[in-house]
Chains A and B, each alone.
Chain A
Amino acid sequence: KNQVEQSPQSLIILEGKNCTLQCNYTVSPFSNLRWYKQDTGRGPVSLTIMTFSENTKSNGRYTATLDADTKQSSLHITASQLSDSASYICVVSAKGNKLVFGAGTILRVKS
C-alpha cells in the first residue's frame, strides 16, 4: 500500500530557531514529492516540488531534501517566524497522477 509517514506529529519551537520535519514514503513508482503548508482553515499551499533526480530545493527560508534511494525527505525551516505556525504536509505523486498525503506535522512557533 502506498503510504507517506511524517514525523514528528507536532512541534513547538521558539521564534528565530531552525527546525527539520521528516517524511518517509513507500509510494512506488514515484513521480515527485511535494511539501505543502496549510494554515488553519485554509487549503494547502505548495512550498516545493522535487522529482526523483533532485536532491534539494529551496524556497526562501524553506529547504527540502530528497533521498530517493532511502525514500526519505526533510523540510528544513531556517530562522522561524510566528507566521510559520501551520501544518506542513508531505505529498507524493504516485502512478496515475494520484497524490498521496501524509498526515502532516503541526508546527507552532512561540515568541
Chain B
Amino acid sequence: DAGITQSPRHKVTETGTPVTLRCHQTENHRYMYWYRQDPGHGLRLIHYSYGVKDTDKGEVSDGYSVSRSKTEDFLLTLESATSSQTSVYFCAIYGGRNTEAFFGQGTRLTVV
C-alpha cells in the first residue's frame, strides 16, 4: 500500500470554529491534492500543491486554505467551518504524468 495517511479520520466540530486536516505521505511525490466528496457530485478539487510552498486553487476553494511547508505534509484548513463543509475529504498523492495516483482513506467531517 502507498504511504499516505490522513488525520483525523473522523471529526465533529461546531460552526465557526477553525479545523485543520492533515495529509502525510512517505512516497516523496511532488503533487498532493485535497478533494471533497458529496453525494451526487463525485470528487471535487479544493486545492492542490505541486511542490513545497507551491499551491493553487481548485474548483471549490472558497472557505479553505492549504499549506505545504515540507514535501510529506499537506494541510487543509477550514478557517471558520460552516455546515456546507460537512463532507468526506480525500487527500491524493501523485508523481506526475503517467504514474500512479494514490488516495488516502478519507476524513469524515461533520459541522454542527
Contact = CB atoms under 8 A, between A and B. Distances in A.
A34 B58 CA distance: 19
A34 B42 CA distance: 15
Given A41-B106, A89-B42, A103-B42, A31 B98 contact: yes
Nearest to B42: A103
A43 B1 CA distance: 12
A51 B98 contact: yes
Nearest to B98: A32
B103 interface: yes
Chain B's interface: helix, strand, loop or mixed, by majority? strand
A97 B31 contact: yes
Interface residues of A, number: 23
Contacts of B90: 43-44
B96 interface: yes
Interface stretch (B43-51, B61-69, B70-78): B43-51
A49 B97 contact: no
Contacts of B105: 42-43
A102 B106 CA distance: 18
Interface of A: 31-32, 34, 41-46, 49, 51, 89, 91, 93, 96-104
Q: Which 10 A-B pairs have the closest CB atoms?
A: A43-B103, A103-B42, A101-B43, A44-B103, A101-B42, A97-B96, A104-B42, A32-B98, A43-B105, A97-B31
